[in-house]
Amino acid sequence: MSSGIRFDRVSVAYDGTTVLDSLDLTVEPGEVMALLGPSGSGKTTALRAVAGFVRPAAGRVFIGDRDVTDLPPYRRGIGMVVQQYALFPHMRVEDNVAFGLRARGAAKGEIRRRVTETLEMTGMAAYARRHPRELSGGQQQRVAIARALAIRPGVVLLDEPLSALDARLRSDMLAELARLHRELPDMSILYVTHDQVEALTLADRIAVMDRARLREVGTPQELYRAPRYEFTASFVGNANLLPVTVGSGTVSLAGNELTVDTARAASGASATLCVRPHLVGLGSGPNQITGVVSEVQWRGATHRLYVDVAGHRMLADLRELRTPPAPGDAVDLHFAPEDAVLLAAGVTDG
Contact between 255 and another protein (CB under 8 A)?
A: no
Q: How far is the CB of 72 from another protein (least distance, A)?
A: 7
User: How many alpha carbons fall within 13 Å on the CB side of residue 291?
Assistant: 26
> Which among 280, 226, 289, 277 has a CA at the least distance from the CA of 253?
289
Residue of 60, 66, 112, 131 that binds another protein (CB under 8 A): 131
Q: Provide the sign of the torsion angle of the four alpha carbons 295, 297, 302, 304, taken in this order.
A: negative
Q: Are strands 289-298 and 330-334 parallel, antiparallel or unpaired?
A: antiparallel
- Under the binding rule (CB under 8 A), the answer on residue 137 touching another protein is no
Range in contact with another protein (rule: CB under 8 A) among 82-90, 120-128, 236-244, 315-323? 82-90
164 counts as binding another protein under rule CB under 8 A = no
Task: Answer yes or no whether residue 14 interacts with another protein by CB under 8 A.
Answer: no
Please state, in angstroms and rounded to a whole number, the distance separating the CA atoms of residues 257 and 41.
Answer: 37
Q: Is 52 in the site for another protein (CB under 8 A)?
A: yes
**Interface residue with another protein, options 2, 84, 270, 290 (CB under 8 A):** 84
C-alpha to C-alpha distance for 129 and 119, rounded to whole angstroms: 11
Q: 307 Cβ partners below 8 Å, 6+ apart?
A: 291, 292, 293, 294, 313, 314, 315, 316, 331, 333
Instruction: Return the number of other C-beta atoms located less than 10 Å from residue 149's C-beta.
Output: 23
- Minimum distance, C-beta of residue 4 to another protein, in the bound complex (Å): 18
Q: Does 136 bind another protein (CB under 8 A)?
A: no
CA distance 101 to 185: 21
Per-residue b/e over 192-208, b at no fewer than 16 CB within 10 Å? bbbebebbbebbbbbbb
Question: Per CB under 8 A, does 133 bind another protein?
Answer: yes
d(CA 172, CA 174): 5
For another protein, give the closer residue by CB, 152 or 313.
Answer: 152
Q: Which of 79, 161, 227, 237 binds another protein (CB under 8 A)?
A: 79
In the complex with another protein, the residue whose CB is nearer, 36 or 156, is 156
Residue 219 interacting with another protein (CB under 8 A): no
Sole window of 30-38, 100-108, 120-128, 326-334 interacting with another protein (rule: CB under 8 A): 100-108
Residue 182's DSSP bridge partners are none
List the one residue from 37, 77, 161, 227 that touches another protein (CB under 8 A): 77
Using the rule CB under 8 A, is 161 a contact of another protein? Answer: no
Q: Does 92 bind another protein (CB under 8 A)?
A: no
Interface with another protein in residues 267-296 (CB under 8 A): none
Contact between 71 and another protein by CB under 8 A: the answer reads no
**End-to-end CA gap in the chain:** 39
> What is the maximum span of the chain, computed from C-alpha positions, in angstroms?
76
* Residue 298 interacting with another protein (CB under 8 A): no
Cβ nearer to another protein, comparing 159 with 210: 159
Would you report the helix, strand and coil content of the chain in percent, each value rounded to 5? 30, 35, 35
Cβ closer to another protein: 56 or 100?
A: 100
Q: Catalog residues that contact another protein under the rule CB under 8 A.
A: 51-53, 72-80, 82, 84, 86-90, 99-100, 103-104, 131, 133, 147-148, 151, 157
